[in-house]
Amino acid sequence: MAHQPPADIDNPTLGERFNAVASWPMRILFGLLETPFRALQRLLGIGRMPYIFLLPNLAFFGIFVIVPLIINFAFSVTGGDELFLNDRPYIGGEQYSYLADCGNYLDPQSCREDRFWRGIYNTITFVFFQVAFMVLFSLITALILNREIRGRGFFRAAFFFPVLLSPVVVALIWKWILLRDGVLNAGLTSIGFERILFFVDPTWSMFWAIFVSIWAHMGFYTLILLAGLQAIPPDLYEAAEMDGTKRERVFWRITLPLLWPNLLVVIVLALIKAVQIFDEVFVLTGGGPGTATQFIVQYIYTTGFSNQVQNFGLAAAASVVLGVVLFVLTLVQLAVTRRREDG
């Protein structure tokens, strides 16, 4: 890609040969694209070139993000099971009132669309425990990794490793461990316990959904908190040491207050991710047993795409609701981030 100065032509090294071969496709591509762009520049003038450079990216944004965002509303106010908007009759807010039709909002059983409300309550339970414990363990791990320990790079990498794994792989790794004849049950029976059918029991299924998603994601948040801890000026600790301050007091008075902005960012980021939980749990439990681990995104997916009757309107209405929740969380995130940058 870079323009290589001609090296010793008679006797090129292996690296130079490789570069020469590898740069050929780039040069051909450059040649192919240069002519039209040069023509465009002559035609439009240099002042309009930034628009040309922006065009492809903005076109993709527009077609696959902005247009869908707008027609999402159109879907949510039309009925029927046709996909194309022209074939869908306008029904106003009927989808929304259908979703909201409940005898008692605290009891999903009393709602007309009980799967939606179960999804909401499951998501709330999941988000509460997942975010709380993930932030707690990320914080403990970051504090420990911030100490002067041998092989810190290795340990940091070890905790980060699962972040790179795909959700399907994560789910299958744990499913294999948690099966009826899996290694965890083997361990339990060997120390005298009964086997547990983890995926038949609603509470255990929720526990493992939370556990596995913490396992898969905490490395990412640990890294952010670790970066925050390392940004705390060492003089503060020195001063505390000179005063003979106790460790506990140092933690509550120096570490935690200075880390707090980062901690807030981590909490909000984790919230935004947790509300959208789908992949790992869908593969791990399939939403079961029954609807015990079915979350709001899975409700949208099954309603829109995997039911016998694909109810696009209802799915769109539910995603508008989810969108509003995420929008609010994002505003909170922006406020929190701004405060971190200012302060």
198: contact with another protein by CB under 8 A? no
Nearer residue to another protein within complex by CB, 11 or 147: 147
Judged by CB under 8 A, which of 22, 168, 256, 328 binds another protein?
168
Classify 335 as helix, strand or coil.
helix
CB of 256 to another protein, least distance (A): 15
Interaction of residue 183 with another protein, rule CB under 8 A: yes
Calpha distance 33→86 (Å, rounded): 39
Interface with another protein in residues 220-249 (CB under 8 A): 220, 223-224, 226-227, 234-235, 237-238, 240-241, 247
Contact between 75 and 67 under an 8 Å Cβ cutoff? The reply is no
- Report the nearest approach of another protein to the CB of residue 24 (Å): 15
Among 116, 294, 304, 336, binds another protein (CB under 8 A): 304
- What residues have CB less than 8 Å from 323, skipping those under 6 apart? 72
* Minimum distance from residue 21 beta carbon to another protein (Å): 17
Q: Applying CB under 8 A, what is the total number of residues that bind another protein?
A: 109
Residues 69-98 that bind another protein (CB under 8 A): 69-72, 74-75, 83-85
Contacting residue, 111, 131, 206, 316, with another protein by CB under 8 A: 316
Q: Provide, rounded to whole angstroms, the least separation between the CB of residue 202 and another protein.
A: 20
The residue from 66, 124, 136, 200 that contacts another protein (CB under 8 A) is 66
Q: Return the residue of 181, 194, 341, 342 that touches another protein, per CB under 8 A.
A: 181
Residue 329 neighbours by CB under 8 Å, 6+ apart: 268, 271, 272, 275
Contact of 289 with 209, CB cutoff 8 Å = no
Tokens of 96: 């929304």
Determine which residue in the list 49, 124, 256, 328 makes contact with another protein, applying CB under 8 A. Answer: 49
Q: Check residue 172 for interaction with another protein (CB under 8 A).
A: yes
Q: Show contacts with another protein in window 121-160 (CB under 8 A).
A: 140-141, 144, 146-149, 153, 155-160
Angle between helices 167-178 and 202-230 (to 10 degrees): 130
Using rule CB under 8 A, residue 323 touches another protein: yes
Nearer to another protein, 89 or 234 (CB): 234
- Give yes or no for residue 256 binding another protein (CB under 8 A): no
Residue 243: exposure state from Cβ atoms within 10 A (0-12, 13-18, ≥19): exposed
Shortest Å, Cβ 159 to another protein: 6
Q: Does 199 bind another protein (CB under 8 A)?
A: no
**Cα dist from 280 to 117, 145, 168, 197, 273, whole Å:** 21, 27, 6, 19, 12
Does residue 326 touch another protein according to CB under 8 A? Answer: yes
Yes or no: say if 209 and 282 are a contact pair by the CB < 8 Å rule.
Answer: no
> Which of the ranges 7-15, 38-46, 89-97, 202-210 carries the binding residues for another protein, by CB under 8 A?
38-46
- Give dist(CA 254, CA 234) in Å, integer: 11
Q: Tell me the C-alpha distance between 210 and 37, whole Å.
A: 52
User: How remote is the C-alpha of 192 from its chain's centroid?
Assistant: 39
Residue 34 in contact with another protein, rule: CB under 8 A: yes
DSSP 314: H
String of DSSP letters for 227-258: HHHHTS-HHHHHHHHHTT--HHHHIIIIIHHH
Near another protein in 273-292, by CB under 8 A? 276, 278-279, 283, 286
98 CB-near residues (< 8 Å, 6+ apart): 112, 113, 314, 317
Binding status of residue 19 toward another protein by CB under 8 A = no
Compare residues 10 and 235 and give the one whose CB is closer to another protein.
Answer: 235
